[in-house]
Chain A
Amino acid sequence: MMRAVGSTLSRVDVVDKVAGVAQYPGDIDLPGQLWMKVVFAGIPHAQINALNVDRARAAPGVVAVLTAADVPVNEYGLIIPDQPVLCGPGSTPTAAHVRWEADQIALVVAATKAQAEAAAQLIEVDYTPLPVITDPLAALAPDAPRIHANLPDNVLYSYRIRRGHMESAFAQADVIVESEYRTHAQEHAYLQPEAGLAFVRDDGRIEVIIAGQWMHEDRQQIAHALGLPEEQIVVRYPAIGGAFGGREDMSLQIVLALAAWKTGRPIKTIWSREESIVGHHKRHPFIFKAKWGATKAGKVVAAQMDVISDAGGYMYTSNKVLGNALVACLGPYDIPNVHVDARTVLTNNCPGGAFRGFGGPQGHFAAEMQMTKLAAALGMDPVELRLQNVLRDGALLPTQSVVPPGCTAAETLEEAARRGGWMQSADGRWQRAAHAPSIQSAAGPQASARQTSLDASRRRIATGVGIAVCYKNVGFSLGFPEHCYAKVELYGEAEIEKAVVSCLGADVGQGAHTAFLQIAADALNLPPERIELQVEHTDITGSSGSASASRLTFMAGHAIQGAAAGALQEWQHEERPARCEFVFHPRPTTMYDPETGVADPSVTYGYCAQYAEVAVDLDTGHVEVTRLVSVNDVGKAINPQLVEGQIEGAAAQAIGWTLLENFIQKDGRTLTPHLSNYLIPGVLDIADVIEPVILEIPDPQGPLGLRGMAEMPMIPTAPAIAAAIHNATGIWIDQLPIVPERMWTALQAQNGA
């Protein structure tokens, strides 16, 4: 029988999605349903003195208007419950405090959408506006207003790393590179804006139908806010129209359940694109102050980083993202002397939260820019410098634990370098012929060897190449009790006629369910057609954890294999049906030591390197990626076509973040709530050529040797492009996004100098 793993099996959901039959939450209607309008505060920082909903309650068609006073336990949050479900008086002391323009203040439930929206206009709010903090550096000022009363310095969380001796290390260094890097917010821009339904079932429990990333976490959050036992809640995920981390935190889960519980009626709502962009978190903006030193021989001896991220008004997953950035900002390198101070700071901006890469893209932008600059300062090839310092098996992480075995940062980088035209000379050193002179001569703009050309319309175009490498944890880190449930049931008599495989990992579009099927088919030695997946709701089995941290195929793969083995054993014992529920626990991890950062932070890592070619229009500042090679070590490609889809999708999202996507807030208000002014790349904006390259070097911990891979190709893109821009123009762009106007401004400064 053909093995399912490694084949390009069609996605289990492809026909329904292509034919338009698949039901996303917004496509579902329930008999007797009411429409809910979620009312945002519309003001980024204020105290609510009074909220008058009398006129709204009396409006035509209105069934209920719910406010803070109606929420049984008015708090939620994935990490800490620091966010009110509804802001307003009549609840907890902190709930009357609005910290974000999209804080939810009321739910208007009416017979129709138009009636709910009309009634929402009749709500009268008496606000006392408070000073708005939009800059995390300003939030750190001693006299800055407090966003949360219990955090007097607005520092939500901090971590540090102390390894080695900085003073002597810098004294040893022949070159020192100091820079400040700034990365910006990013909107997830999934195709399907937030939508969902909730109703009270015949068995008296509340069922919430929504698109999320982790059913059991949604269930826990809903139960907590409603003051109900978790068993009282059922969460169901129908088709999910993209997530990218944007559905990890709650949006409509709790309020839908609340409205259904309070009215006893089925409730539905769909957010507009504007509500979606304003109403959910973004990728954290970061500021990095970096000082790195290296010897002439090419050893990076010291790295000092000061890291600040903008958390917005609430925690969301800010501490976890910061924890990732803490090591990501040092890159995949073995650096003996490291000091990092990292803080995530409260402001009245849109909250920062999970987004593909989870601190990795931000951290690696700083780290890889530093490496490219050090190579230039040393007159060394950037690949050669990286390979001399890269983490290899047996090396210590900055947290002073050994990198988990199967470290392939060097292998991915070498493959990207080869495809980018580098060659290894007889003495083992890596060199690239064509653009090497300008890579090596970056002491100043004058020294750069510009590659310019003129086309028919007299455009002055400079071209350049760049390279970067990254690593990213697989699975939840820092002592989190990672686990994943799966269940297998085998039916038949003499032979297995049907297997039912249950695993509740969310298929957010990445193809997880198809991968589950392929892994199960091989584990049970059955053709995929004989396997039925049960993946829809929380009653089916225990938590499979989140579709995030590039963890799902890794964790669920183990769980499904474990359940399959157990069920086959039962089958041998003549059990009919044969059943096994299995919980996979990866090796435990540990939290950072508060003083030194010493930890064994992550289960394992995935590796990716990218090579970029760019063309810069020297008159307008437009940057085009003409070729992007993305080399990913995925350990084992369960479904190569889906893996390539992840690589290409990440490239698009990363190029968009680097060159185009510009989420603008002013005074705490979103100025780009439409896809006409928040620009995501179309097919013509991505790259002329994307080359997805799959390496299959097994991870000793991975099921079938596979590695998590979905986030990694999002990470090295920005620094690879920025390196290529420097190669083309001699200009370092240390702030993202590199929109034409920013590039043009830098070109003007260069010409003026």
Chain B
Amino acid sequence: MYPPKFDYYRANSIDEAFALMGQLGDAKLLAGGHSLIPALKLRLAAPSALIDIGRIGELKGISRNGSTATIGALTTHATVAAASDLPAALTEAAGWIGDPQVRNRGTVGGNIAHADPASDLPTVLTALGATMNMRGLNGARSVSADDFFIDLFMTALGEDEILTSVDVPVDGAGTAYAKLFNPASRYAIVGVAAKVSVSGGQCTSARVALGGLTPSAVRAPSVEAALVGKALTADNIAAAAAQVGGDLDDVMGDIHASEEYRRAMAPIYVQRAVSKAAERAG
């Protein structure tokens, strides 16, 4: 299937992109194209124009400032997967996206702005407590991952805004990502990211997020509450994971997995992600 016809524009700077967005009616921003082009082919979107921001150098690359890593929106999944100083949950999730072609072209910003419910990065960034940085004609603003992912393919990003970067805390906590995936696309049927800190043999903080189950990535507050203050033994992790059902409304079902199966897999993958994160927390 071929995408519907569109006009193609290339922006060489963020300002040029804003100018084009103002000028063109229903344009869409094109980064790596690995979410947008399939959506066009499936006729899920039919913008009259695409503004290619893929060559804007200032949006690429990873920098570090103290305990915060800043990932430019146009950084590819392959670059993230190969990074040595990012949380393990993020690098392993990026390394499991699609296939090498997808990872070499697909971008972090494009992925999270698209906000596919089966996508990995929204789940991971929610668990890591990341912050999305965006710029509009009226200036820049930042939104936490908890508030950024609103619904199916819907984020806090305004129509006249560009996602510029993501801030990820790098604080020595143990993190991990585990997923049950579609073997063809590697999209998550159930994806779970966990971030735990351990002190004196006890869990001092926990963030657990799930994707693939609900229209957008969600935290699992019941699981988190059940972990904090406990030793991260296999039994305690299993008991906490069993709480996850209460954190999930509106679980989706489709030809790849029924709602019932997805619900049943949630605690299994919570257990797997938290166990691995706990090992990494030392």
Contacts and interface: CB of A to CB of B under 8 A. Distances in A.
A-B pairs, top 5 by smallest CB distance, nearest first, are A741-B261, A619-B268, A676-B184, A457-B272, A679-B184
A744 B182 contact: no
Contacts of B234: 458
A30 to B, nearest CB: 23
B258 interface: yes
B276 interface: yes
Contact of B255 (A664, A682, A740): A664
Given A457-B275, A677-B256, A682-B183, A272 B1 contact: yes
Contacts of A679: 182-184
Contacts of A677: 184, 255-256
B255 A744 contact: no
Contacts of A295: none
B39 interface: no
Nearest to A681: B183
24 contacts: A272-B1, A274-B1, A457-B276, A458-B272, A459-B272, A620-B180, A660-B183, A662-B255, A664-B255, A672-B255, A675-B184, A676-B184, A676-B185, A677-B255, A679-B182, A679-B183, A679-B184, A681-B183, A682-B183, A741-B257, A741-B258, A741-B261, A744-B261, A745-B261
A664 B268 CA distance: 27
A80 interface: no
Given A272-B1, A741-B261, A744-B264, A671 B255 contact: yes
A153 interface: no
B258 A620 contact: no
A457 B178 contact: yes
Contacts of B180: 620
Interface in B214-264: 234, 255-258, 261, 264
Nearest to A682: B183
Nearest to A678: B184
Given A457-B276, A685-B183, A740-B261, 15 more contacts: A456-B279, A457-B178, A458-B234, A459-B272, A662-B255, A676-B182, A676-B185, A677-B184, A677-B255, A677-B256, A679-B182, A679-B183, A679-B184, A681-B183, A741-B261
B265 A458 contact: no
B233 to A, nearest CB: 11
Contacts of A660: 183
A671 B255 CA distance: 8
Contacts of B275: 457-458
B251 to A, nearest CB: 14
Interface in A651-701: 660, 662, 664, 671-672, 675-677, 679, 681-682, 685
A682 B279 CA distance: 31
A581 to B, nearest CB: 47
B53 to A, nearest CB: 27
A90 to B, nearest CB: 32
B271 interface: yes
A459 B256 CA distance: 22
Contacts of B268: 619-620
B221 to A, nearest CB: 23
A676 B99 CA distance: 13
Contacts of B1: 272, 274
A664 B255 CA distance: 8
Nearest to B258: A741
Contacts of A676: 182, 184-185
Contacts of A662: 255
Interface string B1-13: 1000000000000
Q: Quick one: which of B184, B234, B264, B275 has the most chain A CB within 10 A?
A: B184
A557 B180 CA distance: 49
Interface string A449-462: 00000001111000
Nearest to A741: B261
A274 B182 CA distance: 19
Contacts of A671: 255
Interface in A433-467: 456-459
Interface in B144-201: 178, 180, 182-185
A620 B265 contact: yes
Interface string A595-623: 00000000000000000000000011000
Nearest to B176: A457
Contacts of A745: 261
Nearest to A113: B2
A274 B183 CA distance: 19
Interface string B26-59: 0000000000000000000000000000000000
Contacts of A274: 1
A744 B262 CA distance: 11
A620 B180 CA distance: 9
A619 B261 CA distance: 11
A527 to B, nearest CB: 43
Nearest to B256: A677
Contacts of B182: 676, 679
B210 to A, nearest CB: 15
Contacts of B255: 662, 664, 671-672, 677
A75 B125 CA distance: 60
